Structure 1
Amino acid sequence: MQKEYAVNCSDITFARVWSHVDVFAWGHFLGWAFKAILFRHAGLLWAISIMWEITEIAFAHLLPNFKECWWDSLILDVLICNGLGIWCGLKICKALEMREYKWVSIRDISSTTGKIKRAILQFTPVQWTPVRWLDPTSTYMRFFALSQLVVFWQISELNTFFLKHIFEMPPSHPLVIARLCLVGVIVAPSVRQYYTYVTDPYCKRVGTQCWVYGAIMVTESMLCIKNGKELFGQAQVCNVIVWLVIQILVSIGCVYGVVLYHRYFEVRTA
């Protein structure tokens, strides 16, 4: 039987809070440390962290273990576990002198309006398609690229919980652990390839690992929908639509906020 976290939320004592610091809290910490090493950008990481809590609220009517007390969600998860994980992950990147990812670089973004071309065009020869699908020199394309990254990441995370719930597998099940390890190995080069494609104007095609990761994400989603028809029949469409809109708005806000921070703080102190 799974532990219930959204019970007697008014009881905020040290003993009660400490009882919620379980293996899943450590999972939050280690998971976000790993994500920090992958993304290497504090602004984007905090945006994804906050968005995941909103995702839990939006899908709590389908996944009971998403129901948490407000202090568990905001303080334990976002501020302490996720925050410490992000901080430690970025410190590891700095200690190992890893390359910093500038997902939103002020010198790479111009005010030229970009046009979204059909995704299928990127499979054609370069001489046929002089315009990129995601133009790294276009502000609007950078907004779209970051929104796409956030939404895809959230869907991949959701697949983890839906697969466990639909097939009734505990978190300690070997298949659950093996899947997490496999996805972790695949997503590492995928993030790097996607970053290069989004930020480098000389990179004309998205990397193979990105397509592999995308195929896994779509396949898992289809598997969940096929085997969880009864569960998804209870889905509240309004919640899903609002969730998607908020995902996009937060992504745009993240890009805009980082640009402003770079313009008014980093540039002036340089």
Structure 2
Amino acid sequence: MMMFLVYVAFTPEFNDTVSNVKIGILASIGVFCVFGMLQFRDSLLIRPHPALWRVVLSFGVVYQLFLVFLLFQNKQDARMLFKYIDPVLGVPLPEKSYGDACDLTRENIMDQVFDVFALAHTVGWFCKALILRDYTFCWILSVMFEVMEYSLAHQLNNFNECWWDHWILDVLVCNWLGIYLGIKTCEYFEMKQYSWQGFADIPTFKGKMRRTMAQFTPKSWTKFEWNSTKNFKTYATVIFILTMFLICELDAFYLKSLLWLPPAHPVNIVRIFSYFMFGIPGVREIYQYLHDANCKRIGPQAWLLISSIATELLIVFKFGNGEFPNPAPKSVVNFWIVFLTLLTAYPIYQFYLIPKLQERNIKKKLQ
């Protein structure tokens, strides 16, 4: 790293101030990530190398600091800030609704099937399945996101889709395919036999190459069994994780709309990929805390993941003030009242009333 800085010091600088600032910021981020790679503590993941996950943690800190900085700006300045990153940004996005042509014609179906978001749905749910490692968990999340789209269609036109786009193309085709492939990948790693020989102990060149490629696969695999109805702690944790995943998904759409970021722009792609990298160790640390009695605290990757999602939500609330004047439909409000009531009533019944009744019945039998 220092040799790189020496090279920069003795190399003529650019005459363009904007280029110098951009390169200087990127270099500063790189230096911080190198420091984090050397000094931050390891996560639970060690493949392909613990240093990679320390770099992920370092970049997560940088992203969180950027979000805090963005939170202190006003909406217009925040939009113009991205113009320094890319001059094409900082202009209003064209409105697009997916619910205008809902007739089941070949043209309408092909238009949705070959949309770039169909592939994004599949790849995204494949990645979520690798993070959550639970078929039921992913299906609940998939259905709930479509419910969120129905609930927030009065604010964002992107959520206004045809019924068959919601439930057939998204849930039953794209999401299912991604979840299925992701869970099958998890099952492969779960059933795989792991044998880690040292390079010196492998006699053949082919074996050494195979061992080199295996370095980029997990050293071992932990099957996630969330057991959401086991006790109140696991129930509350699962609900919390589902909520954070939904908020993270919604943040992407709201930030894109409020900050005028086109869906296919590299800024959005970097954010999505970053959250995938944050989510792998973050959810793993939450699961460890939930199921390991010897684990007394949640790991730093999990805390940072929660903090980043929450800060994005605060940015959405601040910049969204006055942007969405349309009130929620009465049917949406009634649905959420019933849904949240049931969500609250279930743990009271399951974890309080039933144990009380069982305890009373035991006392009666003893008497």
Q: Same fold (TM over 0.5)?
A: yes
1:58 maps onto 2:154 in alignment: no
1:198 maps onto 2:290 in alignment: yes
1:211 maps onto 2:303 in alignment: yes
Equivalence for 1:104: 227
Equivalence for 2:213: none
The CA deviation at 1:104 is 1.0
Q: List aligned pairs for 1:221-260, cutoff 5 A.
A: 221-234=313-326, 236=328, 239=332, 242-243=335-336, 246=339
The CA deviation at 1:222 is 1.2
Alignment check: 8 A CA contact 2:95 2:157 kept: no
Equivalence for 2:9: none
Unaligned runs of 5+ residues in structure 2 are 1-93, 191-220, 351-367
Residues 95-136 of structure 1: per-residue CA shift (max 9 Å, x gap)? 233432101188xx3xxxxxxxxxxxxxxxxxxxxxxxxxxx
After superposition, the Cα gap between the structure-2 partners of 1:6 and 1:169, relative to the gap in structure 1 and judged at 3 Å, is same
Alignment check: 8 A CA contact 2:122 2:177 kept: yes
Equivalence for 2:169: 76
* 2:227 counterpart SS class: coil
Counterpart CA distance in 2 for 1:147 and 1:70 is: 26
One-letter amino acid matched to 1:89: G
The CA deviation at 1:141 is 1.8
Q: List aligned pairs for 1:141-152, cutoff 5 A.
A: 141-152=233-244
Q: Which sits farther off after the overlay, 233-242 or 147-156?
A: 233-242
Q: Which sits farther off after the overlay, 194-203 or 84-93?
A: 194-203
After superposition, the Cα gap between the structure-2 partners of 1:228 and 1:186, relative to the gap in structure 1 and judged at 3 Å, is same
The CA deviation at 1:228 is 1.6
How many residues are treated as equivalent by the alignment?
222
After superposition, the Cα gap between the structure-2 partners of 1:241 and 1:189, relative to the gap in structure 1 and judged at 3 Å, is farther
After superposition, the Cα gap between the structure-2 partners of 1:182 and 1:245, relative to the gap in structure 1 and judged at 3 Å, is farther
Counterpart CA distance in 1 for 2:171 and 2:341 is: 20
After superposition, the Cα gap between the structure-2 partners of 1:74 and 1:197, relative to the gap in structure 1 and judged at 3 Å, is same
The two structures have a TM-score, normalised by structure 2, of: 0.56
* 2:260 counterpart SS class: coil
Alignment check: 8 A CA contact 2:96 2:157 kept: no
Alignment check: 8 A CA contact 1:34 1:89 kept: yes
Counterpart CA distance in 1 for 2:333 and 2:294 is: 37
The CA deviation at 1:2 is 4.8
Alignment check: 8 A CA contact 1:225 1:232 kept: no
One-letter amino acid matched to 1:36: A
Equivalence for 1:88: 181
CA RMSD of aligned residues (A): 2.5
Counterpart CA distance in 2 for 1:194 and 1:207 is: 7
1:37 maps onto 2:160 in alignment: no
1:67 maps onto 2:160 in alignment: yes
The CA deviation at 1:82 is 0.3
Counterpart CA distance in 2 for 1:185 and 1:55 is: 24
The CA deviation at 1:14 is 3.1
Structure (1 or 2) with the larger CA radius of gyration: 2
Equivalence for 1:189: 281
After superposition, the Cα gap between the structure-2 partners of 1:227 and 1:14, relative to the gap in structure 1 and judged at 3 Å, is same
The two structures have a TM-score, normalised by structure 1, of: 0.75
Unaligned runs of 5+ residues in structure 1 are 110-138, 257-270
Residues 39-82 of structure 1: per-residue CA shift (max 9 Å, x gap)? 11101110000000001111111111001010010000000000
Equivalence for 1:19: 111
One-letter amino acid matched to 2:146: E
Counterpart CA distance in 1 for 2:282 and 2:106 is: 41
The CA deviation at 1:243 is 4.1
* 1:219 counterpart SS class: helix
Alignment check: 8 A CA contact 2:228 2:235 kept: no
The CA deviation at 1:7 is 1.4
